[in-house]
Chain A
Amino acid sequence: MNKLCTTLAGVALLAAGSALADAGDTVRTHSLEVKERLQHLERIDVTSELPASPNAEPLDDELLAILEDVERIEQDHGAAEAR
């Protein structure tokens, strides 16, 4: 009788362990992990503001003249509101 009880208890423990393992070791699908990653990325607040650097990329005279010319055109057409 004792042996039978011990055996039944052992079987019950094994079954319970197996059931718990099924619940706890859920296999996460790969697509779900990518999805989680994307959900994390879409919530990142991208908002940094940087002052002009002293190490700015140098521009030669021709490029500076182009920028001045474009700025003049924008001012002439009242298009410089976003400056």
Chain B
Amino acid sequence: MGRGHAVRAPALILLLSVLAPLSAEAGYRFEDGYYLGSASLLPDWADTLARVERERPLLKRCLADAGRCPPHLRGVRALLERIEDLSLDRQIRVINRYVNNRHYHGDQRGTVASALSNETITVPSRWSTLGEFMARGGDCEDYATSKYQLLRTLGVPAADLRVVVVLDRDSREHHAVLAVRRQDEDNAWLLDSDNQIHRGHPFSYRFIYALNETSIWDHELDADDWARMTPPQEPTEEAS
């Protein structure tokens, strides 16, 4: 009996020491990322934001007048009309499901001018606007950015939204989810393309970086890495 305890106790301690860091892994928190700079520094994302701006008058006309709404945005109009008076929690749930029901299709590589050098670079994935996604579908980052744009249209501030790129340790692929900051909760909600809404840290996800229409944050560097760099100054007030 005594010997059994002597053997089991170290094994238990070892097991707990392995499991404790995993279970203690926090969910996504807006405060945790390191500010890397303006959204314009990622050329493909900046290009997408420019196209979103160009698309905005079309969406505005569509929402104001059904007769001027192109077919691919009729569903968006109907959805926003029906959910504008719901609570934010319910708007988030229905938008997540609505966008996830769209057609998945893989990326096409594209070239954009790098904001960081004078070269033209090939980017492995293109990010879609809401209109582009509604017309032809898209893949995981397009699902996340479409949810982002729908919630922005409903009045959610940009400061409460981020597209978060994660490494899925199960599939070994990078994936994108939308994070929505909840004022009354420590962790953001993570809207996933498999219809889940995560309140904690999905076990297989490692957060890599996040962006919204103003900024980029790094989640992969540790404090030591970051201490060796002088970080750019994050603006105190984000655009909303």
Question: Which residue numbers of A lie inside 8 Å of B, CB to CB?
Answer: 30-31, 33-35, 37-39, 41-53, 55-57, 59, 63, 66-67, 69-71, 73-74, 77-83
Contacts and interface: CB of A to CB of B under 8 A. Distances in A.
Given A38-B216, A73-B74, A73-B75, A82 B196 contact: no
Given A45-B124, A49-B193, A80-B75, 18 more contacts: A42-B116, A43-B124, A44-B124, A44-B174, A46-B140, A46-B165, A48-B174, A52-B194, A56-B195, A57-B96, A63-B93, A63-B97, A66-B83, A67-B94, A69-B82, A79-B71, A79-B72, A81-B103
Nearest to B195: A56
A48 B90 CA distance: 26
B136 to A, nearest CB: 6
Contacts of A56: 97, 194-196
Most buried by A among B103, B116, B121, B195: B195
A55 B196 contact: yes
Nearest to A48: B175
Nearest to B192: A50
Interface string B162-197: 000100100101111000000000000000111111
B135 A81 contact: yes
29 contacts: A34-B37, A37-B221, A39-B114, A41-B36, A41-B165, A41-B209, A42-B44, A42-B114, A45-B124, A46-B125, A46-B140, A46-B141, A46-B165, A46-B175, A48-B168, A48-B174, A50-B192, A52-B194, A53-B192, A53-B194, A53-B196, A55-B196, A57-B197, A59-B94, A69-B82, A70-B79, A77-B74, A78-B71, A80-B75
A83 B125 contact: no
Contact of A33 (B97, B101, B136, B229): B229
Q: Mostly helix, strand, loop or mixed at chain A's interface?
A: loop
Contact of A66 (B74, B82, B96, B134): B82
B68 to A, nearest CB: 13
